[in-house]
Amino acid sequence: MFGLHKSTKKASARQQIAIQGVQDGVLELPGRRYRMIVSVSAVNFELRSEEEQDVIIDTYESFLNSISWPIQILVRTRKITMNAYLAELHAQQQTETVPMYQEQLQRYRVFIRSLIANNTIMTRRFYIVIPYQPTEKVDDSFIREQLLLRADILAKGMARLGMRTYPLDSLAVLELFYSFYSPIQAKTQPLTEQALRMIHQTLVQKEKVS
């Protein structure tokens, strides 16, 4: 993803994942290459009729043919841990004063435990990566403007498919990279907003110096 690779040589995480900086949701890669990552909602294709599926396919094909720049589609599948949710249900049950509601919460907790014991609960998120590489020296505001224009074109194209788009801000971009580069640690030790802001500030400062 975006030149994401691990090196056998000792290097900083920033060097290994080839991030030059992240500012205002714009990701800078080596070689003056820029990216904007957009989260895209899903459409349940399998539940649509055959006619509706054909319309979706034709509309999507038409959108791809209408843009003059490539896009990268990223599907992020992750296993969900339900421990926090079960703990929240248990806390609700302990504070509930109505016996009938207590019993309902208990039954629901048992159901959830049975569900996760026999099934792996997964979440799937979809992203589209928008590229931009200037052919001459331009300022950061112009680069972001060009990416936002492309993001707007993408949003209109996805809206025709019944899908919504949300450009990721700088903190969300860093969190996404963290989940890829340290998947196990991301589950057990998710980054706090304060930690993300510190990382973001470090990248911004290094970008200004370089």
Secondary structure percentages of the chain, helix, strand, coil, to 5: 55, 20, 30
At 40 the three-state DSSP class reads: strand
pLDDT at position 170, please?
Answer: 86
Q: Which residue type occupies 202?
A: T
Q: Are 112 and 164 in contact (CB under 8 A)?
A: no
Helix 99-118 to helix 83-95 angle, to the nearest 10 degrees? 170
* Long-range Cβ contacts of 41-49 (<8 Å, 24+ apart): 41/126, 41/163, 41/164, 41/165, 42/124, 42/126, 42/163, 43/161, 43/162, 43/163
The pLDDT, as a whole number, for residue 210 is: 53
* pLDDT at res. 6: 45
pLDDT at 148: 96
Mean pLDDT by 10 residues, the chain (210 residues): 46 60 87 94 90 94 94 87 84 88 90 83 90 90 94 95 92 82 58 60 54
Dig out the tokens for 51 from the structure.
């006619």
Look at residue 151 in the predicted model and tell me its pLDDT: 96
Rg (CA), the chain: 22
DSSP code per residue over 76-143: EEEEPP-HHHHHHHHHHHHH---HHHHHHHHHHHHHHHHHHHHS--EEEEEEEEEEE--SS---HHHH
pLDDT of the residue at 116: 82
Residues 6+ apart with CB under 8 A from 182: none
- Alpha-carbon distance 162 to 156, whole Å? 10
Eight-class DSSP state of 70 = -
The two structure tokens encoding residue 111 = 């159901």
Query: What is the rounded CA–CA span in Å between residue 126 and residue 2?
Result: 15
CA distance from start to end of the chain: 23
